[in-house]
Amino acid sequence: MKKILFTCIFSLCFLFPAFADVSLLHNVEQSYQSMKNFKAEFNQELFHRESNTTQKRTGSIEFMPSTYIFWETKAPDRELIVCNEKEVWNYLPDEELAYRYSPKVLETSHAILNVITGQAKLEDNFEMELLSKDDSTHTAEFILYPIEANPQMVEVTLTINTTDNRIQKIIVLDFFGNLNTIEFTKFHANISLDKKNFTLKLPQGIEIEDHFND
């Protein structure tokens, strides 16, 4: 189950086709790419269709260009995703288990972390509809469909804040009807962050599954 959740985190990107209001999303992209760094807090809900259960989590993400990412989710299940220029770790403290990957996993067009940090190339992977634009709440909602089949991502609903040019909410629907919802509650750009934060020191006795060369 935990491995599936990690896969969900690495399974999202979006595109701006000409038929949609592309300027809104381009503004978001440019806003993220102009940042020196950021730190954000979020609420996450993971709906499992087969069991009809929802797991609620809270967490935070820190980012420095171009591959420095620290993602942490807390109770009921703590999880860390730590990325730097040398490696990517997914650490599950409660299970005493860690997965190691090459930074190449962030180069895929379906990496949600690339979208959240503004590093994704948003050109060729999805068709998109503008669902709504609400000037009173300063939000716009888009629905995205992958051009290439991907069981981890059948449909994506994306809400952006048109005033701050920030991603406000992402909902990912997979082939099995499961939903991964991430909504950002706080966002701080261009703050003091240290690259030392983007390394993972594992306690002794942790089982490591190494997928670096996969």
* DSSP states along the chain: -HHHHHHHHT-------TTS-HHHHHHHHHHHHT-S-EEEEEEEEEEETTTTEEEEEEEEEEEETTTEEEEEE-TTS-EEEEE-SS-EEEEEGGGTEEEEE-GGGGGSTT-HHHHHTT-S--SSSEEEEEEEEETTTTEEEEEEEESS--TT-SEEEEEEETTTTEEEEEEEE-TTS-EEEEEEEEEEES----GGGG---PPTT-EEEE-TT-
pLDDT at position 117: 79
Residue 21: its pLDDT value, please? 66
Predicted local confidence at residue 94, as pLDDT: 92
> Does the predicted model carry a pTM greater than 0.75?
yes
What pLDDT score was predicted for residue 120? 60
List per-block mean pLDDT (blocks of 10 residues) for the chain, which spans 214 residues.
53 41 78 90 95 95 91 89 94 95 76 70 69 93 80 86 91 92 93 91 94 90
